[in-house]
Amino acid sequence: MFQIDCPWCGPRDQQEFAYAGEAAIKRPENPASLSDAEWADYLFMRTNPRGRHHEQWRHVHGCGQFFDVVRDTVTYRIESVDVPGRPALGDAS
Amino acid sequence: MKNRYSIFSLARNALSHHENWDRAWRSPEPKSEYDVIIIGAGGHGLATAYYLAKEHGITNVAVVEKGWLGGGNTARNTTIVRSNYLYDESAHLFEKSLKLWEGLSRELNYNVMFSQRGVYNLAHTLQEERDAKRRINANRLNGIDSEWVDARQIKAEVPYIDTSSNARYPILGGSLQRRAGTARHDGVAWGYARAADAAGVDIIENCEVTNILRDGGTVTGVETTRGTIRARKVGIVVAGNSGVLAEMAGFRLPVESHPLQALVSEPVKPILDTVIMSNAVHGYVSQSDKGELVIGAGIDAFNGYGQRGSFNIIEETIAAIKEMFPIFSRMRMLRHWGGIVDTTPDATPIIGKTPVDNLFINCGWGTGGFKATPGSGWVFAHTLATGEPHWINAPFSLDRYTTGYLVDEHGAAGVAH
Ligand SMILES: Cc1cc2nc3c(=O)[nH]c(=O)nc-3n(C[C@H](O)[C@H](O)[C@H](O)COP(=O)(O)OP(=O)(O)OC[C@H]3O[C@@H](n4cnc5c(N)ncnc54)[C@H](O)[C@@H]3O)c2cc1C
Ligand SMILES: [Zn+2]
């Protein structure tokens, strides 16, 4: 168990949050122009790193907001928490 | 096999106080080259090596393992074995496996303690009842034994379960597969390891693969912590670490790794002679031969490679078990642990080719691959030996995420396997 520092509510138990998957996956602007393989990559393929992971969480039992987290998937230590749209997050594009 | 286990060998070794048993497998130095390298000495990797030797006569094989053999999910699961899956594709795969389980102890000359004590999948809502009945009919069409039991019959067969109508989530009935059951997790890994070793396979422990070597688009071997090993073909069978190995080989997988945990109670006298699974309250429980209740919990929803689970998951699981078996409320839990399971979007494994030539992968078993250990090894050995999937594993290609031919077992299997 670990704590997550919600950008709106402050540190709370992880149990209050719902995991919302890998971050920074952008819906392709023009799906019709993609090959099946590109579409499959967008829909299904994930980086799933052992280590630094850029992911989304939602404070479901709090403010209800979505935000981004960079977390180590082995130690579960959280490196940073940020609000999507703000381009300050490490190597995320 | 060099040293057959039998009543006679047992008696002979009793005379020397069981101090002179031979080692069950060798501990060889890696050769510089093999026909086939299998990465990962879990049950699936070891079974693959065994069937490569037995079914295809390929014995110049190494199984390389970063830790000790059978120390991954194989040693961490709740050992439920069943084949009553909804879709034809899965039914064929899991039933092939169940048939192999039925003769496994004899075939391997090793007691894997396969116990066909039956598995109940409970239904607590009308929709679950309809889904279960649909699955039962689908199973029967595939020749798999499967029956509906109502709450009264469940109560008669499993006396301590709470089937009263004032339970918070009343039990309406459930599906029952009588040929299903449990097996000894370690025994399966050890039995396959011993038989593969006897056939000439090198099992190389404490040997982590750190890179996958390629020439153009073809695999040529692996880099390991014990040096470079070349091979004509390589099979990746590393469960929760599949994404890590795929990245080494330069391709992507639709797999995410999650902690899944289990726990056991203090041992008590026999009280539960079957396996009970419930998706609605989410818990599953059986009793080991030692007397411990073996309880399976849920996964942590977030990606994780730490072999431990969150405490709140245990709390929810124990609540579910208590809901079904109020009599267990004062049982003390002795141990809990986690494994890293490799989940896919359609809760179905990937067994076949990769974008790299001569590199094959067997992964995505998620929360339910123990039951498939023999069948998975059998079809994967065929795939490695011939370069093409067997018809049983052809639907489980990585390609299906591109073609859209998913085998969506979520409804049938839920999270509990
Ligand atoms: C708590 C829990 C309960 C479960 N309950 C059930 C159940 O009741 N029924 C059921 O059917 N299934 C169950 N499962 C799922 C089942 O355990 C797995 O699907 C199955 O055991 C996977 O076997 P495997 O041989 O593929 O993986 P593993 O046994 O995990 O073997 C993979 C091996 O690869 C090795 N490896 C990883 N990376 C490298 C590397 N770089 N180099 C070399 N080696 C490497 C690992 O050390 C490991 O030994 C459960 C799992 C868990 C965690
Ligand atoms: Zn909040």
From chain B, the residues in CB contact with A71 under 8 A are 302
pLDDT value at position A63? Answer: 96
In tens, the pLDDT along B80-121 reads 999 999 999 999 999 999 999 999 999 999 999 999 999 999
B380 phi-psi bin (left φ>0, alpha ψ -120 to 50, beta other): alpha
pLDDT value at position B412? Answer: 46
Alpha carbons within 13 angstroms on the beta-carbon side of residue B36 total 32
In tens, the pLDDT along B285-317 reads 999 999 999 999 999 999 999 988 899 999 999
Q: What is the mean pLDDT of residues B204-225?
A: 98
Q: Is the pLDDT of residue A46 over 60?
A: yes
Report CB contact under 8 Å: A47, B252. Answer: yes
Global pTM reads 0.96
Taking any CB pair shorter than 8 Å as contact, residues of chain B touching chain A are 241, 243-244, 247, 252-257, 301-306, 310-312, 345, 401-403
Q: Packing angle between helix B185-198 and helix B373-386, nearest 10 degrees?
A: 30
Could you confirm whether domain A20-25+33-93 is CATH 3.30.2270.10?
yes
pLDDT value at position A93? Answer: 43
Q: Side chain identity at B226, as an amino acid letter? A: R
Task: Give the span between the Cα atoms of B278 and B372, in whole angstroms.
Answer: 20
Token duo for residue B31 = 């050769």
Q: Is the pLDDT of residue B201 over 80?
A: yes
In tens, the pLDDT along B151-200 reads 999 999 999 999 998 899 999 999 999 999 999 999 999 999 999 999 99
Q: What is the mean pLDDT of residues A83-91?
A: 59
Q: Which of residues 8-37 of A touch B (CB under 8 A)?
A: 14-15, 18-19, 22, 36-37
Provide the β-strand partners of residue A22: A55
From chain B, the residues in CB contact with A45 under 8 A are 252-254, 401
- The shortest CB-CB distance from B312 to any of A1, A43, A50 is to A1
Report CB contact under 8 Å: B305, A50. Answer: yes
Q: How far is the CA of B42 from the centre of ligand 1 (A)?
A: 6
Task: State the closest ligand 1 atom to the C-alpha of B341, by its place in the atom list counted from 1.
Answer: 53
- A73 interfacial to chain B (CB closer than 8 Å): yes
Q: Is the pLDDT of residue B353 over 80?
A: yes
pLDDT value at position A87? Answer: 54
pLDDT value at position B3? Answer: 80
In tens, the pLDDT along A8-42 reads 999 999 999 999 999 999 999 999 999 999 999 99
Which positions ≥6 away from B231 have C-beta within 8 Å? B33, B34, B35, B36, B37, B62, B219, B220, B221, B222
Report CB contact under 8 Å: B302, A50. Answer: no
Q: Is the pLDDT of residue B374 over 50?
A: yes
What percent of chain B has a predicted confidence (pLDDT) above 90?
95
What residues does the ion ligand 2 have nearby, CB within 5 Å? Answer: A 6, 8-9, 59, 62-63
Q: Side chain identity at B97, as an amino acid letter? A: S
| Of B312, B283, B313, B278, the residue nearest B296 (C-alpha) | B283
Report CB contact under 8 Å: A15, B310. Answer: yes
- The shortest CB-CB distance from B402 to any of A40, A48, A76 is to A40
Phi and psi of B248, rounded to 5°?
A: -60, -35
Whether B392 and B92 have beta carbons less than 8 Å apart is answered as yes
pLDDT value at position A84? Answer: 73
pLDDT value at position A92? Answer: 46
Q: Is the pLDDT of residue B220 over 80?
A: yes
In tens, the pLDDT along B26-36 reads 999 999 999 99
Q: What is the mean pLDDT of residues B138-149?
A: 98
From chain A, the residues in CB contact with B301 under 8 A are 18-19
Alpha carbons within 13 angstroms on the beta-carbon side of residue B386 total 15
Q: Packing angle between helix B185-198 and helix B43-56, nearest 10 degrees?
A: 40
Mutate to test the pocket of ligand 1, among B50, B77, B336 (most ligand atoms within 8 A of CB): B77
In chain A, what are the domain boundaries? 20-25+33-93
What percent of chain A has a predicted confidence (pLDDT) above 90?
87
pLDDT value at position B68? Answer: 97
Mean pLDDT (chain B, rounded): 96
Q: Counting one residue from A and one from B, how many pairs have CB atoms under 8 Å apart?
A: 65
Task: Give the span between the Cα atoms of B236 and A74, in whole angstroms.
Answer: 21
